[in-house]
Structure 1
Amino acid sequence: MLPVLQDPVGLRRDVLASLVVFLVALPLCVGVAVASGVPAELGLITGIVGGLVVGAMPGSSLQVSGPAAGLTVLVFEAVQEFGLGVLGAIVLATGLAQIALGAVRFGRWFRAISVAVVQGMLAGIGLVLIFGQLYTMAGIKQPRSGVDKIVGIPGLIADIATDRTALTAFAVGAGTMVVLVLWKKAPAKARVLPGPLVAVALATAVTALGGLDIANVEVNGLIDAIQPPALNDLSALGGISVLGTVLAFTLIASAESLFSAAAVDRMHDGPRTHYDKELMAQGVGNTICGILGALPMTAVIVRSSANVQAGAKTKRSRILHGAWLLLFAVLLPAAIGIIPLAALAGVLVHAGCKLVPFKELAPLWREHRGEAIVLGITAVAIVTTSMFEGVVLGLFLAVAKSAWDTSALHLDIRESANGGIVVAVAGHATFLRLPRLLETLEALPQDRPIELDLSQVRHLDHACRAALETWAARHNEQGTEAVRVRHPEAVTAA
């Protein structure tokens, strides 16, 4: 008997779950593609590859891959700067890099990336997505930079207030967002249908029945949308700026996928994720997407959580969701062309809001102020500069904060029985704590004997060793008793 027939209950649950994930993925695939400045079909292609190819590979059994809102801003910038053909080359290189990283067992190390940096990255992406898609909701071309998007908001409001077409389009987008927010309070039976699908379907129906004159999604056909990168597109990978984009794609796509895997593992009791294999699976998917000229993919927490909550038990559900996307793209491509752009923009503004951890900011500030600062600076840097620069700055700050926290140094100054001074140092004596250490030592009386107790020092770097030796030599020049060191193997007394 075939394995699938041996477990008909599990098969039925996987099929039903795949239909739920398909209905969640459909509007998001199209919306992410449109927001990224590429044909809508390319988003569907990435979703299909994420289901049929990545879904069948080992790694994580229940998380679902496809085009993600988290990469929208970076993809849009890449398309605007390098062109659609080079985007395919960038995605191809990203996939190969992920395969290589997975092969050398680097996947587990992505779990070590600071959560504050990841949250800051997602918050920055969410803010740029929100401000950018507000323009699309009104049918107005959005500015390129994040700062210009924010600065242009007053002008956008004026355009909406004075232009009837812009007002109509914005109302459709806003209505879509209202449905998404209220759908969580709908009866349980109604919530079987995903909120994004319902919101987009209602917006499409209102636009069509009301004869509203607003822009819809342009459809060219699945086959026509496939444009593999040409040789000159591949040669562009030698440029520094293009390589920087590849690095940003690799870092963000890998981190988002593996953090999603960790989150999904907490949602179910099934097999745990093998992070290196999952990274290689994502790499294979992105390699194929690059060859097809499609969007980059990541594991997407929205679809993955929908898959788990719908009762999926095996990877069949995510494979089948890719099959449903393929059937839809082949049999009903015209259905995409009646979707209003404003409705998809509303879905993405809603998605952008969920990327910003509004509820977690206040508790994080109270309990871990340094982490909150790293999060905020990363997000602001992404909005004001670029994705790559913001993430690099965030990683630098996280490393600096970690170095500062782990270099904790405690000083205890007391008088000895013979009238001298004992300076007890405990912790990690590194260059980061050197200013405070020297200020304390240099403020000690010059005419009294001093004992430097380093027995509780766990680590003494070269900078501190040299500074302590210099200070001891200067103190001894005052004609007092030579500085005594209780831990002579760490610091030699002058």
Structure 2
Amino acid sequence: MNKSFTNLFSHFRTDFMSSIVVFLVALPLCLGIALASGVPLLSGIIAGIIGGIVIGTASKSHLSVSGPAAGLVVIVLNAIEDLGSFESFLLAVMIAGVLQIILGYAKAGVIGMYFPSSVIKGMLAAIGLILILKQIPHLVGFDSDAFGEMEFFQQGGSNTFSALFDAFTHVQMGSLIIGFLSMGILILWSKKSIQNIKALKQLPGGVVVVFLAVFVNYLFIQFAPEIAIDASHLVSLPVFSDFESFTSTMALPSFDAIGNPTLYITAITIAIVASLETLLSTEAIDRIDPEKRRTPQNAELKAQGLGNLLSGAIGGLPITAVIVRSSTNLASGAKTKLSAILHGFWLLIAVALLPTIMNLIPLAALAAILIMVGYKLTNPALYKAQFKVGRKQFIPFIVTVIAILFTDLLIGILVGMAVGVFYILRANYQVPYKYYDSTNRAGSSPEILIELSEHVSFLNKANLRNTLEHIPDNSHVILDGSKASLIDHDVLELIHDFKFTAHEKNIKAELKHIPRL
């Protein structure tokens, strides 16, 4: 039997159970992102199915889960308006998929290696905070925002915090009870006393929560209808009477915009943003993988490109690797990519065969699952650990958290990167060499040794220039490059210029192991 096939099923029990939890989380997210994007709900489900089955199979990531991403909502809304139709937008998604495949073959995945760990950890912590803040309203039955929205600012002038305050003035009692009951079960399920019971350990708390939530709401309907949860606070999956009604709802790409430059600008934008979000998400999930496995980033770009090509072809939203679903996957005990693949099949079965049953699930129960995932991502111990490492790590970390919280994922990452790069540049500026003043008696001519470090780049030029300009007159200066493996050309010019003009201040300049220009 094929070895890779055997490995795929080597942890079937845990992957199977994890896939159900990921499916339960992905289902409302697919619907919510489609709703927030202003496209048919089925488009979000199609993207989730392809993200699971197609990308899950093609990807070499063990834990990453792909699907429609909240970070692309604004791009989708604006693109549809600019192109004039959703059908034209689907063509842009297909082209974006082709571009991602090209990026994969061009080995552009290496970009993911250049994000500092402090920024990646900040991204995870910020996602955790956003999940908690965004899901609290759903936990108490206030569902004014789409389930998948992640941006701080919302339409109508509201924001994450105002929605949070509004939630507690619009509490739905049934959702509140089920929400807090679900939270209690999930907390209990994480305790060692439960985990030590073999039969319960194999059963994810998220699955228990969903079944119990449906049952409790059934009891409300029977015995306390005044607090029962109505359809507006339940999963809202489209119900199709037959296969023909299913296919008639699907949108297909239109080639009418093939000569429109906006089409290609949109495709390039989707390809870049989706690729960056994918690289960031896979890098982040690799960092917290207990087995420390690494995802080949170029192969991941190819898999994502294939997924977007197919998604656009049959009416789906753009797809990326998504940190929320990936984190849920890991937290639920997944070991291989079988979990991601199976969750795609569950989405397909749910929309094709079981929509009425799925529509019994309270959003409050799913919100509880996401809040617990969020807590694991933004655990206070993470902040404490980053603080202990030092400010060069903590400041980029906390800036990334705040920036993502108040903007969106990509803008926040760029802000965090800017701060991280600042500290890198500052470190390079401060440590280009060692300076020794070996004057040994009063009145003698100063004897100075400047020992260059291993790597002296153009970033060190200003600091070195300042040092050379302030060397006292009548000194004997030795510039030693014996430990340097690389000296930038700009720095070499500076050193040789100094030697050439040193006599003007009666300075004897001696160069050791400094290359000629």
Would you say same fold, with TM above 0.5? yes
- Which residue among 307, 316, 325 is the counterpart of 1:294? 316
State which of 465, 487, 493 in structure 1 corresponds to 2:512.
487
Partner AA of 1:227 in structure 2: A
Contact 2:237 2:351 in 1 (8 A): no
Number of residue pairs aligned between Structure 1 and Structure 2: 474
Equivalent runs, 1:405-484 vs 2, <5 Å: 405=427, 408-409=431-432, 410-415=434-439, 419-427=445-453, 428-446=455-473, 448-456=474-482, 458=484, 459-468=486-495, 476-478=503-505, 481-484=506-509
CA deviation digits over 1:443-477, x for unaligned, max 9?
Answer: 4433x233132334624334444555666677643
* Deviation larger for 400-409 or 120-129: 400-409
Q: C-alpha distance in 1, partners of 2:185/2:269? A: 39
- Quick check: 2:286–2:292 contact (8 Å CA) kept in 1? no
Instruction: Give 2:215's aligned residue.
Output: 205
Counterparts of 1:224 and 1:22 in 2: how far apart (Å)? 29
CA–CA separation in structure 2 for the residues paired with 1:361 and 1:40: 38
The aligned counterpart of 1:110 is 112
8 Å CA contact 2:329, 2:339 repeated in 1: no
Q: 1:41 to 1:202 in 2, by over 3 A?
A: farther
Amino acid at match of 1:24: V
CA distance in 1, matches of 2:420, 2:280: 15
- The 1:278–1:232 alpha-carbon spacing in structure 2 relative to 1, beyond 3 Å, is same
Residue equivalent to 2:60: 59
2:25 corresponds to which of 22, 28, 52? 28
Residue 218 (1) aligns with residue 236 (2): yes
**Structure 1, residues 316-341: CA drift from partner, whole Å, max 9, x if none?**
66655543443333221112222223
- Tell me the percent identity: 23
Partner AA of 1:134 in structure 2: I
- The amino acid of 2:392's aligned partner reads G
Match of 1:177 among 177, 180, 183: 183
Match of 1:343 in 2: 365
Rate the CA distance shift 1:43–1:101 in 2: closer, same or farther, 3 A: same
Distance 1:29 1:292, change over 3 A: farther
**Per the alignment, do residues 19 and 443 of structure 1 end up closer, same or farther by CA in structure 2, a change over 3 Å counting?**
closer
Residue in structure 1 matching 2:121, options 112, 119, 134: 119
**Is the deviation greater in 373-382 or in 136-145?**
136-145
CA distance in 2, matches of 1:362, 1:467: 44
Q: Is residue 132 of structure 1 aligned with residue 134 of structure 2? A: yes
- d(CA) in 1 for partners of 2:333 and 2:314? 26
Equivalent residue, structure 2, for 1:354: 376
Cα deviation for residue 373 of structure 1 reads 1.8
Q: Matches of 1:32 and 1:463 in 2, distance apart? A: 52
- Shift in alpha-carbon separation, 1:113–1:332, aligned structure 2, 3 A: same
**Aligned pair in 2 of structure 1 residues 349, 264: CA closer, same or farther (>3 Å)?**
closer
**1:413 alignment partner AA:** D
User: Does the Cα contact within 8 Å between 2:23 and 2:343 map onto a contact in 1?
Assistant: no
What secondary structure, in the 3-state scheme, does the structure 2 residue paired with 1:218 have?
A: coil
8 Å CA contact 1:89, 1:237 repeated in 2: no
**SS across alignment from 1:139:** coil
Which of 101, 104, 108 aligns to 2:103? It is: 101
Q: Contact conserved, 2:92 with 2:263, CA < 8 A, in 1?
A: no
Amino acid corresponding to residue 184 of structure 2 in structure 1: V
- Counterpart CA distance in 1 for 2:200 and 2:164 is 35
Tell whether the 8 Å contact from 2:182 to 2:209 is kept in structure 1 after alignment.
yes
Q: How far apart, CA to CA, are the structure 2 residues paired with 1:261 and 1:154?
A: 31
In structure 2, give the amino acid aligned to 1:437.
L
Counterpart Cα distance in 2 of 1:331 and 1:302: 25
1:193 pairs with one of 173, 179, 203: 203
Instruction: Output one character per residue of 1:121-172: Cα deviation in whole Å (capped at 9) or x when no partner.
Output: 233333333333334444253498526799967755654454453x654454
Q: Is the contact between residue 35 and residue 133 of structure 1 (CA under 8 Å) also seen in structure 2?
A: no
CA contact (8 A) 2:19 2:339 kept: no
Specify every segment of 5 or more residues in structure 2 that has no aligned partner in the other structure, as ranges: 240-245
C-alpha displacement of 1:58:
6.3
In the alignment, the residues of structure 2 paired with residue 95 and residue 239 of structure 1 have an alpha-carbon distance, to the nearest angstrom, of: 12
Higher mean alpha-carbon deviation, 374-383 vs 322-331, is at: 322-331
Q: Counterparts of 2:135 and 2:346 in 1: how far apart (Å)? A: 28
Whole-angstrom distance in 2 between the partners of 1:402 and 1:105: 25
**1:312-331 to 2 correspondence within 5 Å?**
319-331=341-353
Code of the aligned partner of 1:332? L
Change (3 A) 1:293 1:130: farther
The TM-score, its normalising length taken from structure 2, stands at: 0.75
Instruction: For residue 35 of structure 1, report the CA deviation from its aligned partner.
Output: 4.0
Amino acid in structure 2 at the alignment position of 1:250: S
Distance 1:486 1:471 in 2: 11
Distance 1:406 1:257 in 2: 29
Q: Does 1:254 align with 2:276?
A: no
| SS, match of residue 119 in structure 2 | helix
- SS in structure 1 at match of 2:437: strand
Distance of 1:435 and 1:98 partners within structure 2: 40
Change (3 A) 1:161 1:224: same
CA distance in structure 1 between the aligned counterparts of 2:165 and 2:97, rounded to whole angstroms = 44
